[in-house]
Every structure is written in C-alpha cells, then in structure tokens.
Structure 1
Amino acid sequence: MATHVMVFPWLAFGHMLPFLKLSVKLAANGIRVSYVSTPRNLKRLPSIPSHLSNNIKLVQVALPKVDGLPENCEATIDLQQQDETQYLKKAYDQLQSPFEKLLQDDAPDLILIDFSPYWVPEIAAKYGVSTGFFSVYTAATLAYMGPPDELRWGHRRKTPEAFTVAPEWFTFHSLVAHRPDYAPTILRCLHVPDESGKSSGQRLSTIIEACRFVVIRSCKEFEGEYINLLQDLYKRPILPIGLLPPEITKIENDDVDSNWSNTFKWLDTKKPKSVLFVGFGSEYKMPLEQVHELAHGLKLSGLDFIWILRKPKGIDDGREVLLPPNFEVSVLDKGLVCLGWAPQMEILAHPSIGGCLFHSGWSSIIESLGFGLPLILMPMVADQGLCAKLLVEKGLGYEVPRNDDGSFTRDTVAESVKLVMESQTIREKALQVSSQVFCDQNAQNNYMTSFVSYLQKFKRSLDSMEQE
C-alpha cells in the first residue's frame, strides 16, 4: 500500500504554494498526499497536474469565524492590516476538532506541518500518527531564531539590540541578523503572545520538540553550514529536499491578453541583461510615500525597468494617484509599470532582464537565481531581512541602505540598482551559483529521491512496530 502523507500549511500563499510543490513532487514519486486547507484557499491554488490527480486529494476544513477577523479572510493576503494576522491564527487554532475528524476518517502514515499548528502532534499521537515539520524558511533563518528552549523562553536575547547581530550559538562568522528598525517587531513576534494566546516562538518550539524530523526547502550546496548547525540546535534529523524550483513554461497565446503581448514586445526591443525587474511579492503592499520615492529612484537611475506594483492598503484610486505626477510620461520608453498580477516567471526568463530589485522572499530568490540574476535587496517583513543578509554574505546581492525608521530614499535606490547592474563580480557569482546549484536539476531531484526513500523506510519501520 502506498505511503500516505497529510500536509497542513499555514494560511499564507508563501507557505501554501511550497507545500503544494512538495505535494506534487511526492505524488510524482508514488506517495499518496492529502493536502488540507480551507475552501477558499484550495480554490485559489494552481491546478494539480491531471496525471497526478489520483495521488493528491484536496481536503477542506472550514475556517471558524472569530471576532477581529474580517469576513471571507482565509489567508494573510486577504487581510487589510498586519495586526489582523493574530486573529487568523486564532481561527486557525479552532480547526483542532475538524482536523481530528480527518484523522478518524483516514489517518495518514505521517503529517507534515508548518510552523503554526502546535496542537497537531498531540492530536496525531492519539491515532498513532507521527509528525514532521516542513519549513519554507531557509536553514539560516531557523538557525538564527535559535534552539527550542530559546524560542520558547528567549533567555539569551531580551532586547531588540540582541537581534541586530548574529546570535551567540552561531559557530562561524555570519552576517545573518535583522535591521535595527525591524528588531523590535521580531522580538514581539517570537516572545510576546498575541490574541491567539501563543507567540510564534512558542508555536515553533512546541512543533520542533514534538516532530520526528525537520524537512527544509534548501540544499547543502547553498547553505550547508547552516543546515549542519541547525541539526546541532534541534537535535533532530534535518532533511533538505532541494529548492523545489518552479518549472518554466512558455506562455500560450490564449493565456496572454494584448497588454502582456505588448509588454513582451517592449522587452524584445531592449538589449540583453539591460532591464531591471522590480517587484515585492503578493503579500506586502508598500506605503504610498515609499512607492513615490521608489519611482523617483528608478527614474533617477536612468535604467530600463519593468515594475510589478501592488496597490498600497487603503488606496483604491488609479495609477494617477499611485504614481508621482507625470511619472509614466517622464519614463516613456524607459520603464513599464504593471499593476496587480503579472506572469513573473516568464518575465524573469526574458533575455532582456538583467537584475532584480525585490523583497528578498525565499521563493522569489529561488526564482531569480534560477535565471542567474544579480539581486538588489529591499527586505520588508518577516524573514526577508535574514534572507537578504544571507545573500549579501554569499556575494549574490546588495542591500539598499535604509534610514533609522526603515524607510529608503530615491538616491539610495538609484545608487544601489546601478551598482549591482554594473557589477561584473556580482553577476558572475549569480551565474555561477545558478548553474552549480539552482539549475542543477539532477542534484535537486536527488534530494527529493532521498526524501521519498526516507519516507518509505519510515513507513516500513512503523509497519513493523505495529506487527510486533
């Protein structure tokens, strides 16, 4: 009988999509997967390849209503304010009973969980089901956050300043740390319980201590020193499964309206590696004054650019308010601004794209380095600052300098993008790491093959224990 794995991601697309990528890989290797999330989120996921549909089952659990959580909010992308995340966690924690019902009906061999559902291992144990922690974060990020006892109690880092340097448990030189302006946020997040009654540190420490092993979306070739350190900190097997890189497929004509056709025609007119890609992901929406400052910086740089722009929260007006007066006219033929969704992978794959100015999210890093693009780093929230420092440490990018309050200026934007776009050293390093790590499909496949083998051995050991 095929190994049955249940996966249960946190309610953010930066988590749900990697969990789906993993599910597809497992299904392609003969593993039966139950992917658990809420109805609205399941409807918004990419389609499962038809030849794998028998191996992946999408399982709905209705998200309870809680005070403070707006109607129809089932993922972080639906929230209007960052503070509402705590109410989403509160609703998520109320899934305990329906989740247990799933195990009563069809208990899997293993459950892979995210950082948030600290209550799953205890429920799973009642049905003899083991759990593993699947991290969508880098090993460097997890190692920086510390061992379980530090995550739970925070004995060794009690002030924001302590989060601005590499922690004392790092056994080698590292740049991985948070900016001073973001350090207070991380201190609160890790160690101060929110409306859900738990802090992120409490959630993660409980999960690490209860899980049999940790699965990580990374590889030893990129951050082997942090993977080894993490194993020492967690006292658990750390199983890198590779980067789960996206597959690049050519856009079919039926999938692209005239606007995107015109965009690619515009890119076709540009010299190879001359256009800067600018984008900050689907979750973060930049304040309007910083949108304007970024626009001025791009204009000041004199570079060609394509900017995928999300409207700031509370801004319902059109591009005439969103952008500085006459901005698009002033950069005519030099820059394109695209509002909302864009076919990002296909744009990055275009030969005219020569670099990325972006938020340093791990999924976007994997995409960008898959094309060997040098990186200009402007981290905004969560683990992005740690990812940025890791990239700087490895010579793959340059972080835009910030003011004491975390804001940036047009001058620093212009100087930073020109520095990286003109740097042969960073470009060569990005191409090298791309070819040797991010585009080495054999190595990436080997990680998944090893993980599938581990799961099958894990199931056999469980089966033999049941027979004794």
Structure 2
Amino acid sequence: MGGANDSMPHFVLVPLMAPGHMIPMVDLGRLLAARGATVSLVTTPANAARIKPLVDGGAEAAGIPIRFVVFEFPCAEAGLPEGCENFDSLPSHNFSKPFFTAISLLREPLETFLREVHPRPSCMITDFCNWWTSEAARELKLPRFIFHGPCCFFILSSHNIYRHRAYDGVEDEFEPVVVPGLPQRIEVSRAQAPGWFAGWEEMQERVYKAEETAAGAVINTFHELEADYVERYAEATGKAVLPVGPLSLCNKDAASRAARGKASSVGEDEVSRWLDGMEPGSVLFVSFGSLVRTQPLQVIEIGRGLESSGRPFIWVIKEAERRCPEVEEWLSEGFEERTGARGMIVTGWAPQMVILSHPAVGGFVTHCGWNSMLESVSSGVPMITWPFFLDQFLNEKLVVEVLRIGVPVGVKIPYHYVGEGGVAVGRDAVEKAIVSLMEGGEEGEGRRTRAKEFGEKAGKAMAEGGSSYENLTLLIQFATEHTAGNDM
C-alpha cells in the first residue's frame, strides 16, 4: 500500500464466505484500520461487491482504507454452479461440501499474495472453518489467530463435547447429554449440537488440528458477557483468547448500521418514522437471518401468533417465503388489514441494527444466530429464541438459561427434522412466548433489566479503555512485535 509505514502491523483477514462470518470480520478490519494497522481482506468478486457498502459507509468515509484482495472463486473446479461465491447463494445444502472445497482451493493464490505483498504481513486472522490457512501460515512462518464468529459458550461446549467424546455410546441422537466442563449443568442432544460437522468428521479433525497451531483466538463477544467461558476456553486450549466485540458497535452512525448485510428492501427513514409513532418498548421485531428458510405453513403460524398477541410488530419475510402460494393466499385474506397500523411487513432484508436500536423496540424473535443475538444484547433488547440448526441451540441455552434475557418459543429439534411442509411451533406457542416476553410481570421486568444492563456493558467494553478495546490493543501489540522482529 503506497505510503504505508513498514513498522506498523499488517493484518491479513481471511473470512468464511458466509454472511454471519464475513460481516463481523469486516467490522474487525475496520477497527484494526482505525487503530493504525494496515488491513488486507481476502474476498472474491461477488463478495467484494456485497461488502463494499460496509466499508464505503464506514472506514473509507473516515479515511481508513481497507484493501480488498480479490481472488477468483473456483466454482467449476469444485463442482459448484457459477456465481455461488457465498454460502447463502448455494442452491441447496447438498452443495455445502463442494463450497468448502472451493474455499480451500484459495490456498495457492493466498500464499502467492502473502509472499509478494508489501508491507509484509505481520499476522493472519482466519475464520476457524478455514483450516487450510494453517498450512499457508506454517510455510511462511506467519503467526495466525483464528476468528470465532459464534459465542464462546458454544465454542467451549463444542470443544469439550469433541475432546471428551461426550456422545460416544449414545445411540439416540435426541437424547440429552450433559456438556462436560461447564460451570453449570447444560444438556444438549447430538441432533441439536454441535451439528455443523455431522457427517463431516474429516473436516472437523482438520479444524481442530489447525486450531492447535494458532497463536490464539479472536472472538466476537465481550468479557463481561461470557467471562467464565472465555477463561475456561483459554485453559482448555492453552491459547490466548481475545474477546473483541460486540463488533457491530463499530457502526456508530445510522448509515453504517443500515448498510450491514444486503441492501435493505425498506428505507431506513420509513422504518424509523413508523417506529417513532410507537410507544417505547412496545414493538416486537421478528427476523430469522439470511440462511434460514421457513416453511410456508410455519410462516402462516407465525403470522397468526402475531395477530392474536395484539402487539405491534415488524416482521421480516424473505422474498422466497412470501412468493409461496400458501403464504400469498393467506396474506391476501386480510392479515395486513386486520393488524392495521400496528404491523409492518418487510419483504426481503431489513436494517436490523437500526430497528433493534430504536427505543420503541422491546423484543426480538430471533433464529439465534450469534450476530443477531449480539446485536440484540448490544441494544439491551430481550429475545424470543427460535433455533434452527448449527450453533443456534447452544446459543439459545446461553441466552435463556445462563444470561436469563430470553424466552424459548419451544423448538426442540433442528428444522430439517420437521420435514417439508411441517410446523415446529404453532400459533398458540408463538402467542404465549410473545406475551411472556413483552409482559411477563416481575419475571419479565427482571429480564428487561438484565438485558439493558448487558447493553450498557457492551458499549463500555468497546469504548476506549474497555475490555474489548484493550484486547484489540493486545492483538495489535502482538502483531507489532512480530513486525519489529521480522527480518524477512
């Protein structure tokens, strides 16, 4: 980079090409660049176009350059349809393994870049799923931190389940098993967790071996939220563990918050004006992230639960879900007319951070993806938890059983066990959870108080002198020292 100071650290970030992994990695890059580091972010043409608004709206506007290192994505070589450069663009989950194969094929161009770029990289930060980066780091004698997008509670639980072989001898995949090595009793079934590597034993082994060679872990959480789990994970791995989140809080202005994710299908001003007309804490926000595909009958049951609850709401429905004949027919029968001015349906993508940070929002129905949950925590908003797969069931247990800022809707099994056309939760359970969260008497008031307190702690963690700010300082110091001692 022209004019760069060779004494400053140069971080190379290698995210997993999936929204929930890529967006916080971009936020991390912005924070590092704002502190004076040189940052190169590895991506592909389609993904570069998607994340450019995140950078344009924040880092570049503040004069903080982040360099995109754009590699062609080897779709054809891995057996993927052209254009499938992100996990959420795959036609079906049957393409998951070819997708990870394609990502691993980026090793050669990455090594070439690392050898030739100036200033020389000081440190790599790579998604924990990108196990193949450990080989590149070893070849170039380059220190590497792994980046964990999920919460530390999930990471530690998965680590302990794997290391202690907690599921060995358990034939029923729905039988709850106690997670070893946690400060409290947490039970989870094989079907619920860890889930991501079910049938992926070879990749799982590679991921854990790659973790052993890392200098440490960077996690999108904050110490005050997960102190016990951060400390136990550091003990279990013998590595430095640096919570540096909530990374979403680097988006300080409305434009940056609105730019996270895809382009919104509704204007930020329109949403804000609608929320301005509602009572503080009265609105329920319903959104299930980018990867979840809700079955048509389940969409209808959610709507019926919202209607019978009598509560104001903003409900995000994906375009593919709304186009289903059953959903279109049901909506055409007068749902929007019956809910009137107290309901807003957003088709497509909504400016989630803008909505959650508005004082009118008092609850969030979430799929339990960690980015969404952490945004809710940062905004002091309690949650209704509706897990679907991957880390989401353990995320639910953290929020409901440990932090006590959530109400479970009652989902017990991953969505793919429900089957095509199935319903995991009916309208009555949806209504019951809404009433419990938004009213809930003394228990509900305690939940709201705890959520608000965690929101305040999140802001302090990211502010100068806070725990996450200081952990980022430690990361920069580590890379600076490596730069100073690097004679290559």
Which residue of structure 1 aligns with residue 213 of structure 2? 210
Supply the distance in 2 between the matched residues of 1:164 and 1:360 (Cα, whole angstroms).
20
Corresponding residue of 2:403: 394
C-alpha distance in 1, partners of 2:24/2:32? 12
Give 1:36-435 correspondences, 5 Å limit: 36-45=42-51, 46-48=54-56, 49-50=59-60, 55-66=65-76, 68-106=79-117, 107-146=120-159, 151=162, 155-158=165-168, 159=170, 161=173, 164-170=176-182, 172-175=183-186, 177-178=187-188, 180=189, 183-184=190-191, 186=193, 189-190=196-197, 192-193=199-200, 198-199=202-203, 201-246=204-249, 247-250=251-254, 261-312=269-320, 315=323, 320-321=328-329, 323=331, 325-392=333-400, 393-402=402-411, 407-422=424-439, 423-435=444-456
- More relative contact order in 1 or in 2 (CA 8 Å, sep 6+)? 2
| Conserved? CA contact 2:195–2:390, under 8 Å | no
CA–CA distance in structure 1, aligned partners of residues 129 and 278 of structure 2:
45
Structure 2 Cα separation of the partners of residues 229 and 163 of structure 1: 26
| Cα pair 2:15 2:22 within 8 Å, conserved | yes
Q: Is the 8 A contact 2:322 2:328 kept in 1?
A: no
Deviation at 1:444, TM superposition (A): 7.2
Q: Deviations over 1:75-130 (max 9, x none)?
A: 01212322322221111111121111112212411111112221212222222212
Gaps in structure 1 of 5+ consecutive residues: none
- Number of residue pairs the alignment of both structures matches: 454
Provide the C-alpha distance between the structure 1 equivalents of 2:322 and 2:448, rounded to a whole number of angstroms: 38
CA contact (8 A) 1:42 1:60 kept: yes
CA contact (8 A) 1:285 1:313 kept: yes
Task: State whether residues 372 and 431 of structure 1, in contact with CA within 8 Å, keep that contact through their aligned partners in structure 2.
Answer: yes
Contact 1:291 1:323 in 2 (8 A): no
Shift of 1:429: 1.4
One-letter code aligned to 2:140: Y
Q: Deviations over 1:6-34 (max 9, x none)?
A: 01011101111111111010011111111
Name the aligned partner's letter for residue 397 of structure 1: G
Structure 1 residue 320: Cα displacement: 2.3
Q: Which amino acid aligns with 1:396?
A: I
1:385-418 CA distances to partner (integer Å, 9 max, x unpaired)? Answer: 1111101121111111136656111111100011
Pairwise CA RMSD: 2.9
Say if 1:6 and 1:36, in contact at 8 Å, map to a contact too: yes
Q: Deviations over 1:163-216 (max 9, x none)?
A: 83342232x2143x54x5xx337466435238xxx43x2232022111111111
Cα offset, 1:261, TM superposition? 4.7
Measured at CA, do residues 28 and 421 of structure 1 come closer, stay the same or move farther in structure 2, by a change above 3 Å? same
Question: TM-score, normalization: structure 2?
Answer: 0.84
> Structure 2 CA distance, aligned partners of 1:143 and 1:123?
26
TM-score when scaled to structure 1?
Answer: 0.88
One-letter code of the match for 1:395?
R
Alpha-carbon contact 2:34-2:64 (below 8 Å) kept? no
- Return 401-410 or 7-16, whichever deviates more: 401-410
Aligned pair in 2 of structure 1 residues 162, 105: CA closer, same or farther (>3 Å)? farther
CA contact (8 A) 1:5 1:111 kept: yes
Q: Deviations over 1:126-153 (max 9, x none)?
A: 2221211111111111101115xx64x7
Q: Is the 8 A contact 2:179 2:185 kept in 1?
A: no
| Compared CA separation, residues 19 and 188, structure 1 to 2 (3 A) | closer
Displacement of 1:71: 2.1
Percent of aligned pairs sharing the same letter: 26
User: Residues 191 and 305 (structure 1 numbering): CA distance in 2 closer, same or farther, change over 3 Å?
Assistant: closer
In 2, the alpha carbon distance for the partners of 1:271 and 1:453 equals 43
Matches of 2:322 and 2:275, distance apart in 1: 32
Q: Report the counterpart of residue 4 of structure 2 in structure 1.
A: none
